[in-house]
Structure 1
Amino acid sequence: MTIQGSCAPRFAEVREEFERNFAERDEAGASVHVTLDGEPVVDLWGGVADPVSGRPWSEETVVHVWSCTKGATALAAHVLASRGELDLDAPVVRYWPEYGAEGKDATLVRHVLAHQAGLPAVTSPLPAGAFYDWNLMTTTLAAQRPLWEPGTRHGYHGLTFGFLVGEIVRRVSGLSLGRFFEKEVSGPLGLDFWLGLPEDLEPHVAPTIPVDPTRPGVLLPSLFVTALTRPESVPGLMLLNNGGYMMPGESDSRAAHAAEMGAIGGISNARGLAGLYRPLALGGAYQGVRLVEESQLPLMSDVAVAGMDAVVMVPSRFALGFQKATDNRYLPPNDREGLLLPEEAFGHNGMGGSLGFADPKARLSFGYAMNRQGPGLGINERGQSLVDAVYRALG
């Protein structure tokens, strides 16, 4: 497998592990990017973007990064908070009055960011294509009774987070989530990262290669098992009642790529993911582009909730909108995928294994994106091997 790009000698082991992913860990196409003190030290890509056509993964290839999108959406909210335009301790209804229906009037903005809002799913059947209709989804969520008392527990809002946080961003800024992100983050930083992909960029997208659940050795996480065996459960509602978005192939449709879905719809690559977090590893700014004041960073990196997750049924830890390291290696094999990072780091992974994060203490940012998914929600041995190699290089 031909690997292209550059890698500083100090980080040679990252390149070695990247090559091993293709040789030993069933990688198809992928990219990895690392910055240190703002400078790229790893920028590698390789493999096949589209196994059907044989199109190679190039420097311009982008891919669906699933829940890595949540990091971009959370950042949008923190940009507004850092400017004093959004109070994270205020009730949501201050900015979105309709949200107060069905006993949600006391829900705080921080509850939404920390997956404590009690709206990981909706109970009313959603029509086909619901996730491509922003008004439908935000109206439905505003009218939905919470599935638990907001603020009393946390449970991963895997598919609804983007509509909830994104509508708050829209109400405060007057711009759609995708437009705000482009204007304030991806545009100024020059990132290959879109919440709503322009149609002329479709040829650069690598189609997702979903995991084959019938393949020997593939173990489905408890979340998926519960959803398939108990469709009335919260996991079942989340994964089955989404207007068909989670059906095989739908996430690669033009409608899905064009939609602004702040939980799961982002299109990017490793360079875009690492670039998103680069300013956050450097006190909130990079090359004259200040995203947040340095005083905002503790709210983005400090643990807000931790413990058993009410939705995914394994332990999880979150800051306000970002994931924190969680070691689940002691769990049964189907639920061991977690996120092993230094305690100072914060970011977000995507279903199947993609990852972006910042480590302010090390002044480091990291991105990894691939087209072949692993079986779980966390990162798997491909991404973790790259992270581990980065930190071994740092000593």
Structure 2
Amino acid sequence: MTSVQGQCDSAFAGVREVFEDSFADGQNLGAAVAVFADGRPVVDLWGGVADRRTGRAWAWDTPCVVFSCTKAVTSAAALLLAERGYVTLDAPVAEWWPEFARRDKGGVTVEHILTHRAGLPAFDGPVSVAEAGDPVAMAERLAAQAPEWEPGTAHGYHALTFGWLIGELVRRHTGMTVGQFARAEFGSDLWIGAPVGTIARAARVSAPRRGEPSSPLTDVATRTRIGDAYSAPGSLLFRATSNPPASYNDPALLGGGWPAAGMVTTARGLARFYRDLVFGVTLTPETLHYALREQVRGRDRVLLTDTAYALGFMLPAQSFELPDPAQAAAFGHPGAGGAVGFGDPGHGITFAFVPNLKRDWFDGDRRAHRLIEAVYAAVA
């Protein structure tokens, strides 16, 4: 039986129980969960296997790639620069990136990018992993593209392009990559562009073996619609998520600083990031309040399900299922491998779950959901 280690406040014993059960029933291989309540750490647990090939155990400081949870950190970088007066979020991007105005994109604003309305959800040609490690080259490609739809008129998940679009904002105003800026401003254990030593001790992502149990959260019709799009090379969903094509165990990806999907961190580090947002350390309360206003909601042109976006953060919707108590104030971002990070100012909660057994959140992975239910049960 997998041994779960770490600390857990007695009031949150239900979270530990759910976490332990997730290993007993085969839902998890290796994972960590962390919770802050009213700013103090109340759950910091880890367990299981970090590398299925070698049997290496998950340790207290094992980091793991968290896929699109990265977008919350990248978004916070843009919001912080706006707070400091570097950019105006509703002004055209072309004011500071003139080349971007080409191909009918002169009216695109930072707000359009943060809310997935820029019309650039996918690259219009193949991109290599090596090229993806060059933020200047990626920005040049996106500046040269025509949008898939008139910017501002619809929303569709910019699964990978989001990072390089916001990354150009950070680079042009600070001279740093998103990864460099995030570690300097938000925490030294948020690696967007991980060093060799961090990659070596990171958990290795694994796919479920045939016959391993699953318990999807989304309905059959939604899963079928999304599955069909994944298998159609011409669909926006396929194009947005599969180019550049890469393994998330590839050191070139993990070290390449992909600012929409490549962050390597611990559950502790991700939950702390949200704690600092909720409690006014990273952004002023006024900036966060402005950023969390709902901007768009409805059927997503890429994900083919209902999504809701604030400025860079997802809000509870079909694409980001959260328990009822979280519906009023929670914000955050899930990741394709099953990772989730979020904050809830109304309840004073921040949460992160980081697993290495890749279960697709598009398919409604329930592991984080059960843990989150237990968190809210503890504060009810």
Q: Shorter-chain TM-score category?
A: over 0.9
* Counterpart amino acid of residue 223 in structure 1: I
Looking at structure 2, the residues matched to 12 and 77 of structure 1 have their Cα atoms a distance apart, in angstroms, of 37
Shift of 1:18: 0.5
**Aligned residues of 1:338 and 1:378 also touching (Cα < 8 A):** no
Q: Secondary structure at the match of 2:316?
A: coil
**Aligned residues of 1:345 and 1:359 also touching (Cα < 8 A):** yes
Q: Corresponding residue for 1:294?
A: 285
Q: Secondary structure at the match of 1:42?
A: strand
Over the residues paired in the alignment, what is the CA RMSD in angstroms?
1.9
Establish whether residue 367 from structure 1 lines up as the match of residue 358 from structure 2.
Answer: no
Alignment deviations for residues 287-346 of structure 1 (CA, whole Å, 9 cap, x no partner): xxxx21111012332211100001010001110100111146xxxxxxxx7344332111
Shift of 1:102: 0.2
Looking at structure 2, the residues matched to 303 and 88 of structure 1 have their Cα atoms a distance apart, in angstroms, of 15
Looking at structure 2, the residues matched to 210 and 221 of structure 1 have their Cα atoms a distance apart, in angstroms, of 20
Looking at structure 2, the residues matched to 378 and 186 of structure 1 have their Cα atoms a distance apart, in angstroms, of 31
Q: Corresponding residue for 1:332?
A: none
Counterparts in 2 of 1:143 and 1:266: CA distance versus 1, 3 Å: same
Looking at structure 2, the residues matched to 173 and 44 of structure 1 have their Cα atoms a distance apart, in angstroms, of 36
**Aligned residues of 2:179 and 2:192 also touching (Cα < 8 A):** yes
Looking at structure 2, the residues matched to 198 and 22 of structure 1 have their Cα atoms a distance apart, in angstroms, of 30
**Aligned residues of 1:350 and 1:379 also touching (Cα < 8 A):** no
Q: Secondary structure at the match of 2:27?
A: coil
Which structure 2 residue ranges, 5 or more long, are not aligned?
A: none
Which structure 1 residue ranges, 5 or more long, are not aligned?
A: 286-290, 329-336
* Counterpart amino acid of residue 64 in structure 2: V
Specify which of 369, 375, 378 is matched with residue 384 of structure 1: 369
Q: Secondary structure at the match of 2:82?
A: helix
Counterparts in 2 of 1:211 and 1:376: CA distance versus 1, 3 Å: farther
Q: Corresponding residue for 2:226?
A: 223
Looking at structure 2, the residues matched to 142 and 221 of structure 1 have their Cα atoms a distance apart, in angstroms, of 34
Q: Corresponding residue for 2:276?
A: 279
Q: Corresponding residue for 1:205?
A: 202
Shift of 1:91: 0.7
TM-score, normalising length: structure 1: 0.89
Looking at structure 2, the residues matched to 275 and 160 of structure 1 have their Cα atoms a distance apart, in angstroms, of 26
Shift of 1:386: 0.5
Establish whether residue 312 from structure 1 lines up as the match of residue 303 from structure 2.
Answer: yes
Alignment deviations for residues 346-374 of structure 1 (CA, whole Å, 9 cap, x no partner): 11110021011111111221111000011
Q: Secondary structure at the match of 2:102?
A: helix
Q: Secondary structure at the match of 1:369?
A: strand
Looking at structure 2, the residues matched to 221 and 166 of structure 1 have their Cα atoms a distance apart, in angstroms, of 34
Shift of 1:202: 2.3
Establish whether residue 141 from structure 1 lines up as the match of residue 142 from structure 2.
Answer: yes
Shift of 1:224: 4.2
Q: Corresponding residue for 1:334?
A: none
Counterparts in 2 of 1:378 and 1:74: CA distance versus 1, 3 Å: farther
Establish whether residue 338 from structure 1 lines up as the match of residue 335 from structure 2.
Answer: no
**Aligned residues of 2:305 and 2:318 also touching (Cα < 8 A):** no
Q: Secondary structure at the match of 2:239?
A: helix
Shift of 1:32: 0.5
Looking at structure 2, the residues matched to 266 and 50 of structure 1 have their Cα atoms a distance apart, in angstroms, of 18
Shift of 1:81: 1.3
Specify which of 259, 262, 273 is matched with residue 262 of structure 1: 259
User: After the TM superposition, which residues 40-51 of structure 1 pair with which residues of structure 2 at under 5 Å, given as runs?
Assistant: 40-51=41-52
TM-score, normalising length: structure 2: 0.93
Paired residues, number? 371
Q: Corresponding residue for 1:21?
A: 22
Specify which of 291, 316, 320 is matched with residue 325 of structure 1: 316
Looking at structure 2, the residues matched to 378 and 43 of structure 1 have their Cα atoms a distance apart, in angstroms, of 27
